[in-house]
Amino acid sequence: MATAPSSLNDKARLLHSYHSGSPLVLPNAWDAASAALIAAAGARAVATTSGGVSWALGRPDGQGLSRTEMLAMAERIASVVDVPVTADIEGGYGPSAQDVAETVGAAVAAGVVGINLEDSGAADAPLFGVEEQAERIGAAREAAARAGVPDLLINARTDVFLFEVGEPTERFDEVVTRARAYAEAGADCLFVPGLVNLPVLKLLAGTSPLPVNAMTGPGGPRVSELAAAGVQRISVGTAMAELAYTAARDAARELLAEGDEHKNADTLTYADLNGLFA
């Protein structure tokens, strides 16, 4: 039997170890119950989704929550699972390097051993400059060390493809430029949402100095296809939350229309869910 990590930094190192060899697959969680179910299903780590957490708290995604609100949920999640937890801290809850440092310190205090940090502050705002974002990543690394988790895993997200920044022919080179700068600043992984083209992902995986994180989900590349392209970390963003909320909506419609609620054999029971926290 494997020995459980004895400290947060041990958990951070364990999370690092999952970024080589077979790809790390992360079905993103949005609250404590979803995290507990994902861990029970066999996930090696739990990652949060900012969209799912925001919706669970009645807010829109995209910096709709405060640092305190987002990390309170991360702390709940970390308290109910034994596996490493990596949190989506969006743009760091402030534009400055100091803002990012404060967020990372609070994240470590919440029990988090990995973060996603975006190079955009909002969907309708330009990306941070390469040097500016590198400074923010460096501040995250220094803050993690001060907080006692020097091996915090920093998943540096770049939104070049997601927000279609610049000319299409220039986006790949821009991502590679950012990957190199982010790696030098202390990032451990490169997340490129919006990039689902498998040949381009394969080229990026062979060029980037950092392991590449890409997304799967309905209509996107399969896990096996991403793995074959050299993607090392595979996440789903809000897809799991969307499935759960779709099931809730459909069950409500059925109950309201027919006056009955039909459960299939695989439906989780009260005892199943309550037992997660017993």
pLDDT in tens, 148-206: 999 999 999 999 999 999 999 999 999 999 999 999 999 999 999 999 999 999 999 99
Residue 117: give its domain's CATH number. 3.20.20.60
Burial (CB count within 10 angstroms: exposed 0-12, middle 13-18, buried 19+), residue 154: buried
59-94 tens-digit pLDDT:
999 888 999 999 999 999 999 999 999 999 999 999
124-135 tens-digit pLDDT:
778 999 999 999
- Residue 68 belongs to a domain: yes
Are the C-beta atoms of 161 and 195 separated by less than 8 Å? yes
- Residue 271 belongs to a domain: no
- Residue 229 belongs to a domain: yes
- Residue 274 belongs to a domain: no
Give the pTM: 0.94
Give the total number of structural domains in the chain: 1
Using the predicted structure, report yes or no on whether residue 5 has a pLDDT greater than 80: no
- Residue 132 belongs to a domain: yes
| pLDDT of 263 | 66
- Residue 109 belongs to a domain: yes
| pLDDT of 63 | 84
pLDDT band at 2 (very low <50, low <70, confident <90, very high): very low
Which residues, other chains included, contact 239 with Cβ-Cβ below 8 Å and sequence gap of 6+? Answer: 28, 216, 217, 218
Are the C-beta atoms of 209 and 183 separated by less than 8 Å? yes
| pLDDT of 219 | 87
232-261 tens-digit pLDDT:
999 999 999 999 999 999 999 999 997 766
Domain of 185 in residue numbering reads as 8-239
- Residue 245 belongs to a domain: no
| pLDDT of 145 | 98
- Residue 266 belongs to a domain: no
